[in-house]
Amino acid sequence: MVLENHFSEKFTTAQVASGVASTIFGAGIVTLPRSAGEAIGTPDVWMSLLFGGTICIALGIVCAKLCQRYPGLTFYDYSSQVTGKLIGSVLTICFVIYCLLVATYELRMNAEVVRHYLLQRTPIEFTTFCFMLISVYLVLGGLNPIVRLLELLLPVTTIVLFVVMLLGYRNFELENLRPLLSEGISPVLKGLHSTATPFIGFETILFFTAFMRTSRDASKAVVVGIAIPIMIYLCTLLIVIGTLSVQAVKTLTWPTIEVIRSIEFPGAFFTNFEILFITVWVIEMFTTFVVFYFLASLGMNQLFRTPIKYFHYGFFPVVYFLSFYPSNLDEAFQLGDIVGYLAMVFAGAIPLILLIISYLKDGSRVEK
Amino acid sequence: MVVGLAIDKGKKKGEIILTNQFVNTIEGTKEEPGVSNYYNIKTTGGAMMETVKNVSNLTDNSPYYTHLKVIVIGEEVAATTNLMEITNWFLRHHELRRTIQIIIAKGKAEKILTSKLEKRTIPAVELWGMTQNIRETKKMPRFVTLGEMGIKMTDEMSFLVQSVVPLQQGLKMAGAAVISGKERKLIGWLTDEEMNWANFLVNQRKGKEGGVIKVLDEKTKKPIVYNNQNIKRKIVVSRKNGDLSFLVKVYTEGYLLEDWSLTENSFENNYIRTVEKQLTAELKKQTTSVLNKMQKKLKADVFGFRTQLRIDDYPTWKKLKTNWDTEFSKIPIEVQAEVKILEFGGKGNKLPKR
Amino acid sequence: MELRQDEKITTSQAVIGIATFVLGSEIVILPRVASDAIGTPDAWISIFLGGVISTCLGVVCAKLSLRFPTSNYYEISPKLVGKPIGFLVNLIYIFSLMMTGAYQVRIQAEVVRHYLLDDTPIAFTAICFLAVSTYLVLGGMNPMFRLFELLFPLSTFVFFLVMVLCLQDFQIENFRPVLSEGVLPVLLGLKAASLPLYGFEIILFFTPIMNEPKKAVKAVVASNSITILVYVTVLVIVIGNLSSEVVRTLTWPTIEVIRSIEIPGAFFSNFELFFIVIWVIEMYTTLVVSHYFSSLGISQLFSIKIKYCYFIVIPLIYWVAFYPKNINGVFSLGDINGYIAIFISGIVPVLLLLIAKLKSWRGQNV
């Protein structure tokens, strides 16, 4: 294994679970209420989210199972084992591109929110650059520091997110969520794609399993890793829609942050809770970005057998300039949609197909 | 300690009236109502230095100019006297800093320094603060310092100076005064509305942000307001068969921050594009009209076409430079505008899609 | 040489010694003088070329002194061209040094009067300046060099800091188009632009007292690079801020540029004070060097004890400094000084080196 030297230490199940969870948390949390509200149109968004989450858990287990069949190998290795060298390489390259696109999207969203709420007059070229510098610094350290940092940050960010969300209960009105299933179940099912895309990131289990101390627990890790985001997203959706109503949510660019901005304590001097939220959220963006950035370089490293450092540096300008390709906010959101569709392919379809092929191959081997 | 100077024309020919605004240092110790925090002393003379020295005949505090913030020049003086002559003493004397702000007053300059302010601050200091607001609004030109004014007049470069009018109560920055580089005299005014557009044509080294473009939506006739965040301006010099012409490329990027039309949907990229198109058309129309005014009516190149010509086509520049402003008025100029909306703030539409 | 054995200087001290001697009054007026002579914004090219030439001449001086590792300028010339001509050359050189010192005294006094003490008679500031110089010179060579070593990094740092602050009004358009009038003005302005770089011939005195005289060439090249860098920076910043047309109308363009620095929101804005302080230090070091070496010259030429010479030189410098009646006279004093410098530090060392080479070629013992 080429990888051996990067990963002196194997990860615990808890580390992997928190790794998956913090990779999932990302841009979705601030845009989910609007995109889901637009797709579904009724206040039953949260049901759709639960469905979407369940599907993702199932897919996560598929990924984990697939990975467990090839202990110590990552997706990049066994995809060629399963499908042959040529298709395997193509898959690797596609996956690398997908990772880069996710990283780009997170980068741009982060820059947009920071510009809108914090640094109006700072060019996003600059905030993006700073963000990338820190990320690449972490990435250069290898996977171990990344995972340890994720483990460290996740509890803090989760608690802060919960607390901030719960503070929003003051304006919460249950009427906004009623009646249930006013338009029947079909909008809920139709909107599934929009509530499933925020879970992008669980496919990292395809890689994490290879470095786990007990790879048997991969399924457990992925289930826990997805359950945490489900809780947070559910909480966010309920609070945001309960506070604003679905109709209003659809008109707001960053509905979650707007809700947090309306938190006010009578008599309290301190009101800018969104600063707290944005700080935590930027950290979450950072973790997502770092993981995908690393996976992209890892893929190239495995494919070309060149030191991974070169790709860490080489992707810097690529991602940086790619993030300015969308010329305005709408195009940036469109990039998010594209990433969502790609995720369905790379996190859903491909692992499933690979798993089936792999089962079939084993079967034929037994017959022989 | 003098913080403001106002220069006006006297009754006799060539006479200058100088109003010195002193900080009243006694005021700091007493909180009595009625004691003003400044006082003005008016002197007359034939030249600046002479006029300044006359102040010592009227007060025990001889004027000290190191902390001088603004010099307000009256309309009448600016239009009839060579400004290079008026400012000569200021540029020579070591007490005056080159960073003092120059403002041209509509009407008498003295009225600016004696105007009543609701805040009861010193008018000169208030005025100085107002000159710095170029980051907020584009309805005034960037401030001109004494040093910059000296540079431009030496180079025979026409330029814009902030102008101010007294109101019933308070002051108002009102567009720009156009100073001809050749004559070094006030030759005309730009209103604050015109200035809003002229600012897109000026090379902005500082204060690229600020300023709005407002259009009425074609369909709904409701206002849409765009907040500029960055301006890039480029001049292209071209010569075809010996005919000189300029192309100005104006590019601005910023935020769509107000939209009254109910049918708005900024989450759709198409909508953003149509708004951009309308803003671009407006920008092009207005900048062209300002450019026309500068070329045909005022005949002054305040936008720096001359610099670009000097850089790109030095031989032609050498031929034209002696009478540049007249030559400038004959050269065809085309404006190419581009407005880019980067984002649209926290709310993208009013009524959600059904 | 009456120098004591312990009065040896290191290479870096020699470098700093030359640089501090060369850098002086010209910093504040060079932009005007150079722009006036050249007329286009290309003055920086001129000074660059001038710098190359002066570095070559500096190398010539160093080579010359390496041929006579124990003798200084005053001792070399009589050896090569005979007593009477040598005496004459030395006399001119002493006069040139005194003029340089006098010029510093006067310019310093003028600037201090204009910007700082407008009611103080310049004679007073000049006498103070000379008195401080005499005090240092009386201590001998070592304290002099150690002081230079101490002050030089500080003043260079402050200088560059102030220059960086000037960048906020810098406009690259002021330099364009490059070479608008062709190369000719640049060449014509070479004389004016390179005058402030003269002074490197002082290496002829430093080589005998360096602990590694072999490094004399290196020292002169290093110090020349420093001075070129400083002058090019000044020129670029000043012309970039004011444009070359305007520079020509200002008496002290460099200080005017520094007076325009304003940091938004900062209370303190009088940056020219910093600059004038370090600049007066630069002038002071130049004066000290010329004071010391002109006294040394008189002492060697007329065999007078050097202690007396220190005091003999003071009235002479003072008299030369106040010979010009007004500021324009001062500037022409600078011009004359420049011409003498071209002769004494440009032409004479080259001739001397040629003669030395010829002599050794003809097998004479030198």
Q: Give per-residue pLDDT as tens, C20-55.
A: 999 988 889 899 989 988 888 898 999 999 999 999
Q: For chain A, list the contacting chains (3+ Cβ pairs, <8 Å).
A: B
Query: pLDDT value at position C70?
Result: 84
Biggest distance spanned by C-alpha atoms of chain A: 78
CA C241/CA B151 separation, integer angstroms? 9
Cβ contact A106:A293 at 8 Å: no
Which of A124, A253, A274, A333 would best serve as a mutation to test chain B binding (most B beta carbons within 10 A)?
A253
The pLDDT value recorded for residue C366 is 45
Q: What are phi and psi of A168, to 5 degrees?
A: -75, -5
Check CB contact under 8 Å for A328 and B351.
no
The counts of H helices and E strands in chain B are: 11, 13
What is the distance between the alpha carbons of residues A246 and B179, in angstroms, rounded to a whole number?
A: 58
Dihedral of alpha carbons B55, B59, B63, B67, sign: negative
pLDDT(C325) > 80: yes
The pLDDT tens digits of the residues spanning C145-166 come to: 999 999 999 999 999 999 998 8
CB distance B97–C118 less than 8 Å?
Answer: no
Residue B223's H or E segment, with its range, is: strand B223-240
Q: Which of C115, C180, C249 is facing B94, going by the closest CB pair?
A: C115
Residue B331's pLDDT is what? 92
The minimum CA-CA distance between C47 and chain B, rounded to whole Å, is 22
pLDDT at C233 over 90: yes
Q: Which domains does chain A have, with CATH numbers?
A: 7-359 (1.20.1740.10)
Q: How far apart are the first and last CA of chain B?
A: 68
Structure-block tokens of residue A344: 């369905």
B353: which chain A residues are within 8 Å (Cβ-Cβ)? 38, 250
Contacts of B350 in chain A (CB under 8 A): 251
Q: Of B97, B311, B314, which has the smallest distance from its Cβ to C173's Cβ? A: B311
**Predicted pLDDT of residue B354:** 56
Contacts of A37 in chain B (CB under 8 A): 352
Give the least confident one: B252-256, C174-178, C218-222, C253-257: C174-178
Q: B3 with B67: CB under 8 angstroms?
A: yes
Residue C171: predicted pLDDT: 87
Residue C55's pLDDT is 92
Q: What is the rounded distance in angstroms from the CA atom of residue B244 to the CA atom of residue B314?
A: 13
Cα–Cα distance measured from residue C123 to residue B134, given in angstroms and rounded to the nearest whole number = 48
Cβ contact, residue pair C260, B94, below 8 Å: no
- Looking up tokens 């330029």, which residue turns up? B159
CA–CA gap between residue A313 and residue C230 (Å, rounded): 37
Nearest to B272 by CA among B288, B259, B285, B289: B259
What are the beta bridge partners of residue B186?
B179
Query: CA–CA separation, A287 vs A156, rounded Å?
Result: 13
Q: Which residues on chain A are in Cβ contact (under 8 Å) with B352?
A: 37-38, 246-247, 250-251
The predicted model gives B206-226 an average pLDDT of 86
List Cβ neighbours of B231 (8 Å cut-off, separation of 6 or more). B199, B200, B204, B208, B250, B251, B252
Residue A98 Cα, gap to closest chain B Cα (Å):
23
Ordered alpha helix ranges (H), A180-217: 186-190, 192-196, 205-208
pLDDT at C118: 83
Question: Computed over its alpha carbons, how large is the radius of gyration of chain A?
Answer: 20
- Tell me the pLDDT band of B34, cut-offs 50, 70 and 90: low
pLDDT (mean) for C190-212: 87
On average, the pLDDT of chain A sits at: 86
Say if C171 is an interface residue toward chain B (CB within 8 Å). Answer: yes
Would you say C223 and C62 are in contact if contact means Cβ atoms under 8 Å apart? no
Angle between helices A13-24 and A218-244 in degrees, nearest 10: 30
Mean pLDDT, residues B159-182: 91
Q: Which carries the bigger pLDDT value, residue A210 or residue A320?
A: A320
Q: Is the predicted pLDDT of residue B225 greater than 90, yes or no?
A: yes
Mutant choice from B136, B227, B262, B267 vs A, greatest count of A C-beta within 10 A? B267
d(CA C15, CA C71): 19
Question: What stretches of C183-305 show up as alpha helix (H) in DSSP?
Answer: 184-188, 190-194, 203-206, 216-242, 244-247, 253-259, 271-302
CA distance to partner chain B, nearest, from residue C267 (Å):
11
What is the spatial distance between Cα A70 and Cα A162, in angstroms, rounded to a whole number? Answer: 37
Please, do chains C and B touch (3+ CB pairs < 8 Å)?
yes
pLDDT given at position C286: 93
C120 touches chain B (CB under 8 A): no
Average pLDDT over residues A147-154: 90
Cβ-based contacts under 8 A for chains B and C: 39
Mean pLDDT of C86-115: 91
pLDDT, position B176: 93
Q: Which residues contact C111 (CB under 8 A, 6 or more apart)?
A: C28, C252, C255, C276, C279
And the tokens for B305? 């076409």
Map tokens 């006498």 to a residue.
C127
Res. B348: pLDDT tops 90: no
Dihedral sign computed on CA atoms, order C3, C7, C8, C14: negative
Q: Give the residue extent of every domain in chain C.
A: 11-356
Identify the pLDDT of residue C2.
47
Q: Does A118 touch chain B (CB under 8 A)?
A: no
Mean pLDDT of C118-143: 90
Contact residues, chain C, for B202 at CB < 8 Å = none
CA distance A274 to chain B (A): 13
- Which tokens sit at A226? 């997805």
The owner of tokens 């103070």 is C128
Distance from CA of A326 to the nearest CA of B (A): 10
Min Cα distance B193 → chain A (Å) is 24
In this predicted structure, the answer to whether residue A1 has a pLDDT above a threshold of 50 is no
Choosing among C110, C116, C173, which should be mutated to test the B contact, i.e. which has the most B CBs within 10 A?
Answer: C173
Residue located via tokens 């671009």: B280
Of B345, B350, B353, the CB nearest to A38: B353
Alpha carbons A146 and C90: distance in angstroms, whole number: 75
Instruction: List the structure tokens of C278.
Output: 């370090």
Q: What would the mean pLDDT of B306-330 be, rounded to a whole number?
A: 90
Nearest to A1 by CA among A210, A232, A217: A210
pLDDT at position A2 is 44
Q: What is the pLDDT of residue B31?
A: 57
Q: Give the largest Cα separation in chain B, rounded.
A: 80
Helical residues (DSSP H) of C243-270, grouped into ranges: 244-247, 253-259
Report the pLDDT value the prediction gives residue C268, as an integer from 0 to 100.
61
Q: Is the pLDDT of residue B14 over 90?
A: no
- What letter represents residue A314's amino acid? G
What is the CATH class of C11-356? mainly alpha
Mean pLDDT rounded to a whole number for chain B: 88
Tell me how far apart the alpha carbons of residues A242 and C366 are, in angstroms, rounded to a whole number: 103
Which of A103, A68, A114 lies closest to A254 in space, CA to CA?
A114
Residues C88, C89, C91: CA angle, nearest 5 degrees: 65
Contact A253 B347 (CB under 8 A): yes
Q: Please judge whether A112 and B343 are an interchain contact, meaning their C-beta atoms are less than 8 angstroms apart.
A: yes
Query: Beta strands of B24-153 (E only): which ranges?
Result: 38-45, 70-73, 101-105, 144-145
Q: Inter-chain contact A253–B348, Cβ cutoff 8 Å?
A: yes
B314 → closest Cβ in C118, C177, C256: C177
Record the pTM: 0.81
Report chain C residues whose CB lies below 8 A from the CB of B205: 171
Which residue in A116, A246, A328 is closest to B346 by CB distance? A116
Nearest to B155 among C176, C246, C269 (CB): C246
Does the distance separating the beta carbons of B269 and A328 come in below 8 Å?
A: yes
Chain B positions touching A253 (Cβ under 8 A) are: 267, 343-348
**B342–A328 C-beta distance less than 8 A:** yes
Contact A257, A113 (CB under 8 A): yes
In the predicted structure, residue C15 carries a pLDDT above the cut 60: yes
- Looking at chain B, which residue has its C-alpha nearest residue A42? B354
Q: Which of C248, C260, C272, C276 to mutate to test the interface with B (most CBs of B within 10 A)?
A: C260
Average pLDDT over residues C91-116: 91
Q: What is the mean pLDDT of chain C?
A: 88
Burial A296-313 (b: 16+ CB within 10 A, else e): bbbbbbbbeeeebeebbe
Residue A364 has pLDDT above 70, yes or no: no
Does the distance separating the beta carbons of B310 and C269 come in below 8 Å?
no
Select from B146, B351, B156, B173 the least CA-distant residue to B264.
B351
Q: What is the pLDDT of residue A368?
A: 43
* A333 vs B contacts (CB less than 8 Å): 267
Q: How far apart are CA A253 and CA A262, in angstroms?
A: 15
Q: Do A247 and B229 touch (CB under 8 A)?
A: no
- Say if A and C touch: at least 3 Cβ pairs within 8 Å: no
Rounded distance between C-alpha atoms, residue A32 and residue A340, angstroms: 12
| Partner residue opposite A247 with nearest CB, options B341, B344, B352 | B352
**A39-82 pLDDT per residue, tens:** 888 888 888 999 999 999 999 999 888 888 888 888 888 888 88
Spatial contact of B2 and B22, defined as CB atoms under 8 Å apart: yes
- CB proximity list for B79: less than 8 A, separation 6 or greater: B185, B186, B187
From chain B, the residues in CB contact with C171 under 8 A are 205
Q: What is the mean pLDDT of residues C117-134?
A: 91
Closest CA to A225 of A41, A16, A5, A1: A16
CB B101 within 8 A of CB B33: no
Residues of A in contact with B349 (CB under 8 A): 250-251
- Measured in whole angstroms, the distance separating CA A247 from the mean position of its chain's CA atoms is 26
Average pLDDT of A277-285? Answer: 89
The pLDDT of residue A4 is: 47
Give residues with Cβ within 8 angstroms of C262, minimum separation 6.
Answer: B99, C269
CB contact under 8 A, A250 and B269: no
CA distance B317 to C176: 13
* Residue contact B147–C256, C-beta within 8 A: yes
**pLDDT at residue A91 is higher than 70:** yes
CA distances from A270 to A264, A265, B346 (A): 8, 8, 22
pLDDT band at B12 (very low <50, low <70, confident <90, very high): confident
CB B80 within 8 A of CB B185: yes
Both tokens of B266, joined, read: 């900024």
DSSP secondary structure code for residue A313 in this structure: H
* Among candidates B229, B267, B345 on the partner chain, residue whose Cβ is nearest the Cβ of A330: B267
Residue A5's pLDDT band (cuts 50, 70, 90): very low
What are the residues of chain B with a beta carbon less than 8 Å away from any beta carbon of chain C?
94, 97-99, 145, 147, 150-151, 154-155, 205, 307, 310-312, 314
Percent of chain A with pLDDT over 90: 27
Q: How confident is the model at residue C259 (pLDDT cuts 50, 70, 90)?
A: confident
- Nearest by Cα to B90 from C256, C266, C261: C256
Q: Residues 268..297 of C with a Cβ closer than 8 Å to B: which?
A: 269
pLDDT of A329 above 50: yes
8 Å CB contact of B349 and A250: yes
- The pLDDT tens digits of the residues spanning A184-221 come to 888 888 888 888 888 888 888 888 888 888 878 888 89
The candidate with the shortest Cα–Cα distance to C126, out of C14, C262, C283, is C283
Contact A188, A181 (CB under 8 A): yes
Per cent of chain B over pLDDT 70 is 95
Q: At what angle do helices C43-67 and C216-242 cross, to 10 degrees?
A: 170
